[in-house]
Amino acid sequence: MNYWEKADHSWSKDSKRSILTPTQKSQSLFYYLQEIGHFKASKPYFTEREHLPSYLIKYTLRGRGELLYKNQHYLLEPGTLFFIDCLEYQYYKTISDEPWEMDWVHFSGGNAAAFYQEFSKNQLPIFQTTNLPENNPIHLIMEQLLLLQAQQNAQTDYHSSVLIHQLLNELLLQKYQQDFTYKAIPTHILRMKDYIDRHFKENLSLEQLEQIYHINKFQLTKEFSKYIGLPPIKYQINKKISYAKNLLRYSDTSIKEIAIDIGLENSAYFSRLFKKNTGLTPSQYRKIG
């Protein structure tokens, strides 16, 4: 599968673009830039490509564009951001009479793939920011990144990596805030969370929760994961492990007694579960505490 691209380069003279060639060291250590720019692109500006090993974030400031990605069309208005994997086929273009003005960045490295998967888990490559694009932290970070490339020095790759990570975190933070507020979490999910918080030492099961809340266990798991971030049983296990950590670090309670306290009669199973979730055995965790 070979990379290919078709494009029209109808961007203004005051548009900015920086093409980078990261070192092997930067690629192995950091998030790294491949290209970055700020364009004012008039019709018939477009880009069509596939099989490019890169992630692309493009943030519309003014004008309008259109994106075709995974067989779906998306309107790109001021404040709209898209985040795509450029290995997939993509086609985007200016559709407004005024120039389509946007920030954009091609990047890779670090946990870029994981951030992309998290961003796109609702199957949408776009989201609409709520405040004015010019004042949005996403725009300001991308502006900093672009400015940084004009002042290259020995630390530029490191500082770029920090800013890319900041950009990805800001992007997800804004998206999460739009998905729901705490008040928007369904009452039955909040009640279930409170129940698990109070009964986490017990051996709960999805079947028990299904009977208590009269919700199919599969739907229950889906909703709890959406609003709390973890399936209910995994959430309970994390509560057990966090409670055990506190006892291991700040008490002389034996490992066997801790296991029994959190509802795990088999201390060997507790040790395996603890190591699976922390990377350390209870004994090792106690020593480093």
Domains annotated on the chain, with CATH: 4-179 (2.60.120.280), 184-288 (1.10.10.60)
Phi-psi label, residue 71: left if phi above 0, alpha if psi -120 to 50, beta otherwise = left
pLDDT in the model for residue 201: 94
pLDDT in the model for residue 104: 98
pTM: 0.71
Per-position pLDDT tens, the chain of length 289: 799 999 999 999 999 999 999 999 999 999 999 999 999 999 999 999 999 999 999 999 999 999 999 999 999 999 999 999 999 999 999 999 999 999 999 999 999 999 999 999 888 999 999 878 888 999 999 999 999 998 889 899 999 999 999 999 999 999 887 665 555 788 999 999 999 999 999 999 999 999 999 999 999 999 998 888 889 999 999 999 999 999 998 899 999 999 999 999 899 999 999 999 999 999 999 988 6
pLDDT in the model for residue 289: 63
13-22 CB contacts, 8 Å cutoff, 24+ apart: 14/40, 15/39, 15/40, 15/41, 16/146, 18/146, 18/149, 18/150, 20/149, 22/109, 22/157
